[in-house]
């Protein structure tokens, strides 16, 4: 029966400072990025992807990665991470105190070529210069496998292609694989089938969900994950984000919408919804526009009181 076996608590992996801001056309000053990161940490989010050590040529918005990483607030029990696409990125990360990095790859060959200018196999080969050296240096490494639910160029993707990639990443040393619906086309039944496939070969802690909300189905897909026992969900405050190489794709599921739903279902997150709503207002001010997150101040109060 629905909702009979939900996990008592889940972990939210906040991606707005990186995945959320990377698609913004107007450069966000470093001080504003740090203000957003501080607000997220104060709300109780303990896993925050702060930036990306990618070439400024490809993602100008994150050209200040070294500065951001060097100025991150010191908040007890908060783990900051950064995306590192290659050996050069890792070299930069190792000069900071970032304790965790992430690597990313697409299940779609076409999307991977457009996103990182390399084949899937070539990207995996390049990770040989990133993952093992990072682990040896004492960093944890997380892996993203994107476009599992569908590709803007190839359409439907065989999830077994993503499964093979995930095995390679885990063999290299990734502790967790975040499964991505990059363009937000996933439906609950499809999500169930994909998760069951991965759960047949990986443990629950090794799997995370990264659901974009292009068609308003991200929360429905999250509920499917909850019912199957998934305990890690990526989210972006305000629903901020998108993908430069996935035209029309919306941002990740909004963190405040996710927390509101989980609170109402009795699933603990460790996040203070009222402070998270405030962080959403900071995000709105940072980018200078309204964001798609749906939780309003009145909704926060009605839940808490």
Indicate left, alpha or beta for 138 from its phi (over 0: left) and psi (-120 to 50: alpha): left
pLDDT digits (tens, 9 = 90+) for 45-94: 999 999 999 988 888 999 999 999 999 999 999 999 999 999 999 999 99
User: With b meaning 16 or more CB within 10 Å and e meaning fewer, what string describes 115-127?
Assistant: bbebebeebbebb
Domain locations in the chain as residue ranges: 11-304
107 CB-contact burial (10 Å; exposed 0-12 / middle 13-18 / buried 19+): buried
pLDDT score for 23: 83
For 235, the token pair is 């989210």
pLDDT reading at 292 higher than 60? yes
Q: How confident is the model at residue 299 (pLDDT cuts 50, 70, 90)?
A: low
pLDDT reading at 305 higher than 60? no
pLDDT reading at 17 higher than 80? yes
Beta bridge pairs of residue 104: 144
Computed over every residue of the chain, the mean pLDDT equals 93
The whole-angstrom distance between residue 193's C-alpha and the CA centroid of its chain comes to 21
Cα–Cα dist 106/244, whole Å: 14
pLDDT score for 302: 47
Residues 6+ apart with CB under 8 A from 298: none
pLDDT digits (tens, 9 = 90+) for 154-195: 999 999 999 999 999 999 999 999 999 999 999 999 999 999
Q: How confident is the model at residue 4 (pLDDT cuts 50, 70, 90)?
A: confident
For 298, the token pair is 């009145």
Q: What distance, in Å, lies between the first and last C-alpha atoms of the chain? A: 29
Q: What does 3-18 look like in DSSP terms, one character per residue?
A: TSS--SB-EEEE-III
For the chain, percent of residues with pLDDT exceeding 70: 94
Provide the H-helix boundaries in 200-296: 218-228, 255-264, 273-287
For 68, the token pair is 């951001």
Task: Tell me the mean pLDDT in the region 193-214.
Answer: 97
Task: Tell me the mean pLDDT in the region 189-213.
Answer: 98
Annotated catalytic residue within 84, 151, 174, 243? 243
pLDDT score for 1: 47
Helix (H, G, I), strand (E, B) or coil at 302: helix
pLDDT reading at 303 higher than 80? no
Cα–Cα dist 184/164, whole Å: 22
Q: Is 243 noted as a catalytic residue in this protein?
A: yes
Cα–Cα dist 178/159, whole Å: 13
* C-beta of residue 94 within 8 angstroms of C-beta of residue 114: no
Helix (H, G, I), strand (E, B) or coil at 35: helix
pLDDT reading at 301 higher than 60? no
Yes or no: is domain 11-304 CATH 3.40.50.2300? no
* C-beta of residue 36 within 8 angstroms of C-beta of residue 286: yes
Task: Tell me the mean pLDDT in the region 272-291.
Answer: 92
Residue 156: CB atoms within 10 A of its CB come to 11
Report which of 13, 4, 7 is spatially closest to residue 232, judged by C-alpha positions. 13
Residue 236: CB atoms within 10 A of its CB come to 31
């Amino acid at each position: 029966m629905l909702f009979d076996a939900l996990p008592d608590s889940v972990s939210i992996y906040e991606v707005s400072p990186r995945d959320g801001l990377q698609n913004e056309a107007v450069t966000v000053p470093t001080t504003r990025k740090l203000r957003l990161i501080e607000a997220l940490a104060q709300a109780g989010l303990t896993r925050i992807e702060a930036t990306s050590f990618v070439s400024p040529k490809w993602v100008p918005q994150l050209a200040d990665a070294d500065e951001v990483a060097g100025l991150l607030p010191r908040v007890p029990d908060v783990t900051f991470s950064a995306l590192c696409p290659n050996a050069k990125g890792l070299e930069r990360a190792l000069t900071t105190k970032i304790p965790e990095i992430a690597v990313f790859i697409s299940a779609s060959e076409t999307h991977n070529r457009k996103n990182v200018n390399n084949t899937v196999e070539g990207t995996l080969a390049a990770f040989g210069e990133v993952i093992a050296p990072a682990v040896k240096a004492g960093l944890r490494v997380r892996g993203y496998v994107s476009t599992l639910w569908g590709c803007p160029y190839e359409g439907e993707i065989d999830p077994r292609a993503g499964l093979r990639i995930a095995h390679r990443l885990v063999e290299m040393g990734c502790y967790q694989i975040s499964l991505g619906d990059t363009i937000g086309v996933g439906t609950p039944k499809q999500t169930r089938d994909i998760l069951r496939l991965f759960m047949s070969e990986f443990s629950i802690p090794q799997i995370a969900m990264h659901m974009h909300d292009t068609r308003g189905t991200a929360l429905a897909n999250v509920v499917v994950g909850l019912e199957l026992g998934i305990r890690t969900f990526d989210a972006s405050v305000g629903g901020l984000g998108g993908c430069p190489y996935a035209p029309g794709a919306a941002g990740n599921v909004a963190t405040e919408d996710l927390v509101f739903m989980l609170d109402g279902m009795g699933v603990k997150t460790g996040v203070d919804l009222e402070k998270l709503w405030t962080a959403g207002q900071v995000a709105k001010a940072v980018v200078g526009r309204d964001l798609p997150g749906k939780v309003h101040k009145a909704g926060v109060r009605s839940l808490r009181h």
